[in-house]
Structure 1
Amino acid sequence: MTKAELENKIATLKMDYIRIQGDMEKLESVGRNVEATERVLIQIEEELKECNQQLAKCPS
């Protein structure tokens, strides 16, 4: 992936993370189970970590 592609992917993942985090808060407020949502957030965090590592290796 190019640097621009990685930056776009990171931005998209961050937006998804924020949206899902909001959804999780809504679920919690009505007493729903949030385990599946937490797993999705963990997956996004791992993907962000990988993308940031790749981005650090890209030439400026």
Structure 2
Amino acid sequence: MKTKEIETKLIELKADYARIMGDMDKVEAVGKRTNIEENQLAQLEKEIADLNRQLDDAE
């Protein structure tokens, strides 16, 4: 993957992360479980870390 593609994907993943965090806050506010959102965040964190490593290697 090219540097620009990695940067674009990182922006998308970070936006998804922020959206899911907001969703999770809403779910918690009504007293429901957030397991699904927590799993999604964990997956996004792994993807973001992997892309950051790729970006470091590309530079």
State the TM-score, normalizing by the size of structure 1: 0.96
Deviation at 1:24, TM superposition (A): 0.1
Unaligned runs of 5+ in 2: none
Structure 2 CA distance for aligned equivalents of residues 3 and 15 of structure 1: 19
**Where does 1:41-60 land on structure 2 (aligned, <5 Å)?**
41-59=41-59
> C-alpha root-mean-square deviation of aligned residues, in Å?
0.5
Partner of 1:32: 32
User: Percent identity at matched positions?
Assistant: 42
Residue deviations 1:27-57 (CA, integer Å, cap 9, x gap): 0000111011100000000000000000001
Equivalenced residues, count: 59
Scaled by the length of structure 2, the TM-score of the pair is 0.97
- Give the Cα separation in 2 of the matches to 1:46 and 1:3: 18
SS at match of 1:26: helix
